[in-house]
Amino acid sequence: MQNGFWNRICSFLMLAFLMSACVSADGPRVIPQTAKDRPVSSAPPASSSAPASPVYPPPAPRSSNQSIDPALQQYIDEEWRRFPGKTGVAVLRIDGGGGMAGKRLQDLFPQQSVSKTWVAMTVLDQVDQGRLSLNQNVRITPDDVTLFYQPLEARVTRDGEVNETIARLLELAITTSDNTANDSLLRTAGGPEAVRAFIAKHGLGQIRFGPGERLLQSGIAGMEWKQEYSVGRRFYTARAEISYDRRKAALDAYLANPVDGASPEAIANALGRLAKGELLSPGSTRLMISLMERVKSGPNRLKAGVPAGWGFAHKTGTGQVLSPVSTGYNDIGIMTAPDGTRYAVVVMMADTTASVPDRMRFMSSITRATASYHRP
């Protein structure tokens, strides 16, 4: 009787083991999705005039040498396809496995004030060489005033001339995008040829530099520059007298072959080299990135998609508008994850009919997706 009891117990245990083995072998294995693994939601809800952002594709499996997640490219493809106009995107993983995702990576896009980045680096390169000093004063007179955004213009008009250090002009040119400050730095460094020489010396590739703000912007508008246009709103008044056809012809020519054009790929690679200290001395590298971290323009462009806890340094650019087309709407930056991994992110819009909120939404979706697909 005792043997019969134990035989029944053993039979029951054997049957339970076999049933569990069948479930384990044939049934699906469910892996809980942690908050860290789960894709972050897309950009803020789209307006009624724009379609909602797609759900992020699932991330690829982790590896010991992380690179750009292929799902990030898939996400960029979807967002880019739905956005109107000619748009370029580049996301470079600076650290780790490297790799780049994007669209129109090698096309030339108008830089507009993004080009202030190369002016500042040219100046800092000359500081590194001992040719310039951050404490050196630069004299600015009414003949040096430019156009569009230039807070220095009011001081020059009031006082007749202004003296500013190179350090202060760098602050104004990068953090506030003051055009007169930038052109004063450009003049001090040796003009456009000096910037082109810096770009060539470091092999930065498809990055052009234009003739300076006054000649660039007047040419885009189909105008010949006159220094009187630098005062108040005289440029706007003179531009309003240009026929639409003439302005459109000049703008179309500029967009087709931008004299200040650069490719998203080249800009991303340049930002990566800046971040790694390959373009400037350690001190100048820190100063340049610090300036970009304190940029006041474009808070709702790329920066709006950077999560809390990440670092961000950037430079914006904005071109002229000939309704219904806006041109040169750009933002480039370096994102730094909490673990120290850095990404160069570039979004450039040569021309678009999208509203400003939709442009900003597109830009912020790219940085948000970059963070979402980041793997240490």
pLDDT digits (tens, 9 = 90+) for 266-295: 999 999 999 999 999 999 999 999 999 999
Instruction: Report the topology of domain 70-372.
Output: Beta-lactamase (3.40.710)
Number of H helices, E strands in the chain: 13, 10
pTM comes to: 0.83
For 145-168, how does the pLDDT look when each residue is reduced to its tens digit (9 = 90+)?
Answer: 999 999 999 999 999 999 999 999
DSSP line for 271-334: HHHHHTTSSS-HHHHHHHHHHHHT--S-TTTGGGGSPTT-EEEEEEE---EETTEEEEEEEEEE
Residue 155 burial by Cβ neighbours in a 10 Å radius (0-12, 13-18, 19+): middle
What are the boundaries of each domain within the chain? 70-372
Question: How many Å apart are CA 118 and CA 126, to the nearest integer?
Answer: 12
**301-358 residue pLDDT tens:** 999 999 999 999 999 999 999 999 999 999 999 999 999 999 999 999 999 999 999 9
Say which residues have a Cβ less than 8 Å from residue 150's Cβ, sequence separation at least 6: 178, 179, 180, 181
pLDDT in tens, 123-144: 999 999 999 999 999 999 999 9
Q: Phi first, then psi: what are they for 282, rounded to 5°? A: -55, -40
What's the N-to-C CA distance of the chain in angstroms? 63
- What is the Cα–Cα distance from 105 to 80, expressed in whole angstroms? 12
Q: Is the pLDDT of residue 9 over 90?
A: no
Q: Taking a C-beta distance cutoff of 8 angstroms, is the pair 314, 328 a contact?
A: no
Give the DSSP H or E segment for 109.
Answer: strand 109-110
Task: For 208-234, write each residue's pLDDT tens digit.
Answer: 999 999 999 999 999 999 999 999 899
Other beta carbons within 10 angstroms of residue 138's beta carbon come to 18
> Do β-strands 100-103 and 86-93 pair in parallel, antiparallel, or remain unpaired?
antiparallel
- Secondary structure element (H or E) that encloses residue 336, with its range: strand 325-336
